[in-house]
Amino acid sequence: MIANMEYVTILDYSEQLGQMVLQSEVMEDYQQKKTALAQDEVAQQLIKAFTNIKDHYDDIQRFGRYHPDYQEIMKQVRQTKRAMDMHETVAAYKVAERNLQTLLDEISEYIAFSVSDQIKAPKDGAALSDSGCGCGSGGGCGCAS
């Protein structure tokens, strides 16, 4: 068992590390892009349109290719997602989000490997994935997504 003072020291260092991340340029850029995204009405409309079509897609997903509207919905999902992803504010936000995730992954890896080379650390946001697959196919590849 870790002694109480060692535990407190580790928590203090963790708090300092957290503050350093919060004050980093990467986090500042992320916050700016997040605010810009929230204030961009066109981007918000594109996100809402994608969310609506995605909800409709989820409804027909139960039937898969046998649903009469499957092909049309798949086409609409791709078109709506592309329009959303190509919007300048959304794209900038996604880049900033990816940069922040990379920073957090690097910190996690550094901490894990400083303890032991055998410890597995998250890579490319893998800790955020529910199934560990991240293929985005909704289980179509055979994963547990």
Predicted model pTM: 0.75
User: What pLDDT, in 10s, does the model give residues 131-144?
Assistant: 444 444 444 444 44
pLDDT value of residue 132: 47
Amino acid at 13: Y
**Cα–Cα distance measured from residue 46 to residue 141, given in angstroms and rounded to the nearest whole number:** 28
Residue with tokens 């910190």: 107
Residue with tokens 């969310």: 51
Task: Convert 2-24 to b/e letters by CB count within 10 Å (16 or more is b).
Answer: eeeeeeeeeeeeeeeeeeeeeee
User: What pLDDT, in 10s, does the model give residues 78-112?
Assistant: 999 999 999 999 999 999 999 999 999 999 999 99
**Cα–Cα distance measured from residue 57 to residue 6, given in angstroms and rounded to the nearest whole number:** 52
**Cα–Cα distance measured from residue 79 to residue 67, given in angstroms and rounded to the nearest whole number:** 19
pLDDT value of residue 137: 46
**Kindly report the CA angle at 36 between 31 and 41, in degrees rounded to 5?**
145
User: What pLDDT, in 10s, does the model give residues 7-22?
Assistant: 899 899 999 999 999 9
